[in-house]
Chains A and B, each alone.
Chain A
Amino acid sequence: MKHRTIIALATCLLLPAQLAPAQGQVELSVLQWSHFVPEHDPWFDAWAADWGAQNGAGVRVDHINFQQIPQALAGAIDAGEGHSLIQLLTPGAAWVEGLHPLNDVNAAAAATFGERVSTCATASYLPVVDTWYSFALGYLPGPGNYQQGLWAAAGLPQGPTTWQELYETGRTIYAEAGVPLGLGLSPEVDSQAAVYSALWSFGGSVQDESEQVVLNSPETVAAVRFLAQMQREAMSAEVFGWTPASNNLALIAGEVSYIINPVSAYRSLQKIDPEAAADIHFTPALAGPEGAYAGTNGVLAYVIPRYVEGRELELAKKFLLDHAGDYGDAVEHSELYSFPCYPATATQLDAWLDHDPFGSQPADKLAVLKGAGEWTAYVGHPGPANPAVAQFFAENHLVNMVARVALGEVTAEDAVAEAHARAEAIFDAWHAKGLVGGGEGR
């Protein structure tokens, strides 16, 4: 017994010594959100450890819920210490003054990997200060996920291709089969992605390319009126109280006919009930009167806070470029959930989408995601995701204005005018800070 105790104590004393970086070795710490496809994180942790061994650095990876990333980053910048690299999912331009410019990393990536998906640029570059404040490696396309059996019975086996079809046939399915559409109208990211998708497809937007607020437009009013009507006639009230997991759970339970979401819900269903998963099919962005856009459910962008210096900073930048170089593995281990910002880093993607290596039936059902970069847009579209856009997003105004009309609290015109006024105030504050452009017209 005594020997065992001594061995246990010795192990406890020696183990930290083995795990800790060697004397003088730089330690890189990475904070990122827990991936929605659980298989991704063990792969990433192993990849990071291997990278550390090859580059003479200790690498520690911490995973937290994506909703806690903003406060973690704010705390780290304020304290002047913390992780070397922090991965964001939501817009990060508000932190730009506390971050290292990554113009060099983005330039090096462009030179090495070539063309970048425009959504990733929108999420990383702040034109008014000509700064790349983050390095985006991947993005999450948000296709439509639908139950083919229900939609085929309603006459659309290929699923809806337009917002009008979604509304009309979704309403029919709800009336006849009792299964509603599942587009959230709650203060959370998936709801926001769905509402932004409709807004852009109807020709509205929060700002224009020159970062002027243009929310109050006939197009926005039409989009809001349309979504509110669709909620009243083709959805249940539960969408007003959804969390980010709710649409996934509803699809898995077979209780909604259509959701807008990356493939994570489908991947979960494949593991739980392959037969039900075989009935889930996908649509690209739905077309509206002015185009077909789908708001991305997130961009996987890393930032390096200013407190990171010297060798740690050099290694952090190298880590990012090396990670980008191996991004094909990340796409594969995310089970085709994360898409590459630089298509050249995952050249196998189209082949995987044509023949899903994760057992889709039929094997090519994900092929509709080919070219997702062309119809995926990020908050701020058609302008950059500047800090004002990010604050407007964080305050959930777009979702709230639709929900208020759906619940009959205000007219679409009033809801849009009110949200526009708030957007103006937010934009003015950030413009005064010099982080939003549009000086001429403001």
Chain B
Amino acid sequence: MNAIMSRWIDDSRLMGIVFLAPATLYIVLLVGLPFVTALLFSVSTATVGDASFNYVGLRNFANVWQTPAFRDALVNTFSFTVIAQICTIILANILAQLLTTPLPQRRSGRIGMWIARMLLILPWATPLSLSVVGWLWMFDSKYSPIDYIFRELALLGPGTVWGPANNLIWLGKPLLAKASIIFVHVWRMTPLATVILMAGLSSIPTDLLDQAEVDGSRYFRTLFQVKLPLIMPIMLISLLFGFIFTFGDLTVVYILTRGGPITHTLTLPMYSFLVGIDGGNLAQGAAVSLFIFPVLLLVAVVLLRTASRAEVR
């Protein structure tokens, strides 16, 4: 018995299969099956009341493509994701630099740094739906605390630069509503990106940094020509996470605007939900959601290949 066990354990091919099996099963059950189901729905007449399969070819895709709301959703999804990721990666880099500076010698300084790091992760640790409800209140058209601060700073209200209205009406004006959605995505994703970048910065061998210092490299030269190139692979992974989370997010838009004003903040997941679940047309909803897939696949392939090349170099 022991001999058999020993042979199995020594069989690297078998062990490889055994160790990979849980992850494979997980991907097949939780990613593969829903994806295939969505594919089947999208070429059928499935509704929320009857998911039976009647093949209709690409009719659902053509149908949604002709809808202006869909095209708005496509543009918004891209622009929100790209802008949010640019902002996130810049902010995360700044924060990661700050939070990886050598800890102050004094105890109070160390505690302060520890608290700062803990606070940083809070937006990521808080359940998204709860935190977005918080932002819904922050952006309230009448009682927004942000507007209150602006009024106190004499920036908003009669006779001020942004006046005469007492409120900016964050979610009622197209540009501000878009900015609000992007802001919440940035707020949400920055902690994760920062933590990933902090890990990357911590892994840079100190002798490289010492060498740069000896060679007379100042802060920004070290940052842009030593640190950032070295953490590029991990930064691209962070970007990939951020892109996928933002591109496929439903919660932020659902709670804040439901796609409004008009369709100015409508995204593909939100439109898919409105058509497929609220509207009951599961087939068209699936067709809308499948437009997300090739984009995410392409982004994942490009970013992972770039990260891999950067690592090899």
- Chain A residues in the interface with B (C-beta under 8 A): 70-71, 73-74, 77-78, 90, 93-99, 185-188, 236-243, 246, 249-250, 253, 255, 387, 390-397, 400, 403-404, 407, 409, 418, 421-422, 425-426, 429-430, 432-433, 435
**B50-70 vs A: 1/0 string, CB under 8 Å?**
110000000000010011110
Whether B169 lies near A237 (C-beta < 8 A) is: yes
- Chain A residues closer than 8 Å to B280, beta-carbon distance: 70, 74, 93-95, 387, 390-391, 394
B41 to chain A, nearest CB (A): 11
Whether B179 sits at the interface, judged by CB under 8 Å, is no
Q: Give 18 A-B contacts (CB < 8 Å), ordered by A residue.
A: A73-B48, A74-B48, A74-B282, A77-B49, A95-B48, A95-B280, A186-B172, A187-B258, A236-B165, A237-B169, A238-B169, A250-B142, A253-B142, A392-B279, A394-B274, A394-B279, A403-B261, A426-B279
A384 to chain B, nearest CB (A): 15
Whether A429 lies near B281 (C-beta < 8 A) is: yes
Whether A94 lies near B172 (C-beta < 8 A) is: no
- Chain B residues in the interface with A (C-beta under 8 A): 45, 47-51, 63, 66-69, 136, 141-142, 165, 167, 169-174, 177, 257-263, 274-275, 277-282, 284
Whether B47 lies near A387 (C-beta < 8 A) is: yes
Whether B275 lies near A407 (C-beta < 8 A) is: no
| Among candidates B165, B172, B277, residue contacting A241 with C-beta atoms closer than 8 Å | B172
Interface class of chain A by DSSP: helix
Q: How far is the CA of A403 from the CA of B69 in the complex (A)?
A: 14
Closest to B170 in A: A241
| Among candidates B136, B174, B274, residue contacting A396 with C-beta atoms closer than 8 Å | B274
- Chain A residues closer than 8 Å to B170, beta-carbon distance: 241
| Among candidates B51, B261, B279, residue contacting A240 with C-beta atoms closer than 8 Å | B261
Whether A394 lies near B262 (C-beta < 8 A) is: no
- Chain B residues closer than 8 Å to A403, beta-carbon distance: 260-262
Q: How far is the CA of A98 from the CA of B46 in the complex (A)?
A: 12
Given contacts A240-B261, A407-B262, A429-B284, contact A390 B167 (CB under 8 A): no
Whether B281 lies near A400 (C-beta < 8 A) is: no
Q: How far is the CA of A410 from the CA of B282 in the complex (A)?
A: 30
Whether B172 lies near A98 (C-beta < 8 A) is: no
A224 to chain B, nearest CB (A): 13
Whether B274 lies near A395 (C-beta < 8 A) is: yes
Q: How far is the CA of A291 from the CA of B281 in the complex (A)?
A: 33
